[in-house]
């Protein structure tokens, strides 16, 4: 999946997303987290104690994830990019995502992108 240039620029300007995973019990779980959009159109998510978190366990049961990056410009101009795809749990490479981050991280293969207020 390819981002439009406007979507890519917007994602690169933001630091926080909301990541949704599905637990082993089938229930959704949403948490705010940092992310990185890569030049090849994939997304990486990591953090501190990452392999100990519920989201790590969730992706072990079900690789489908969704994330939303959004904001609101004044006076009331909401913008967002929603990304859906499958997360690969990776054991190495996460330390490149941020200071003190663990090596474990998600590498998300993007399958669907939708946005609002981004492409003019």
18-42 pLDDT, tens digit per residue, is 999 999 999 999 999 999 999 999 9
Q: State the Cα–Cα distance between residues 118 and 116, nearest whole angstrom.
A: 6
Pairing of strands 43-46, 16-22: unpaired
With contact defined as beta carbons under 8 Å apart, do 81 and 8 qualify?
no
**What is the pLDDT at residue 2?**
82
> Phi first, then psi: what are they for 10, rounded to 5°?
-60, -50
Q: What is the pLDDT of residue 120?
A: 72
Report the percentage of the chain scoring pLDDT > 90. 97
pLDDT of 1 above 70 = no
Is CATH 2.30.110.10 the right assignment for the domain spanning 5-116? Answer: yes
Average pLDDT, the chain: 96
Q: Which two tokens stand for residue 118?
A: 């981004």
pLDDT of amino acid 117 = 97
Pairing of strands 105-116, 16-22: unpaired
The structural domains of the chain, with segments of one domain joined by +, span 5-116
State the pTM of this model. Answer: 0.94
- Give tens-digit pLDDT for 48-75: 999 999 999 999 999 999 999 999 999 9
Mean pLDDT value across residues 66-87: 97
pLDDT at 102 over 90: yes
């Amino acid at each position: 999946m390819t981002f439009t240039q406007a979507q890519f620029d917007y994602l690169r300007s933001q630091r926080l997303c909301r990541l949704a995973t599905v637990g082993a019990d089938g229930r959704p779980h949403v948490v705010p987290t940092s992310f990185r959009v890569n030049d090849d159109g994939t997304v990486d998510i990591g953090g501190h104690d990452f392999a100990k978190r519920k989201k790590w366990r969730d992706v072990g049961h079900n690789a489908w994830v969704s994330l939303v990056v959004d904001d609101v410009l004044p006076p009331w101009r909401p913008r967002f990019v929603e990304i859906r795809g499958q997360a690969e749990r990776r054991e190495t490479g996460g330390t490149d995502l941020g200071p003190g981050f663990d090596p474990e991280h998600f590498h998300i293969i993007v399958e669907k992108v939708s946005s609002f207020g981004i492409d003019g």
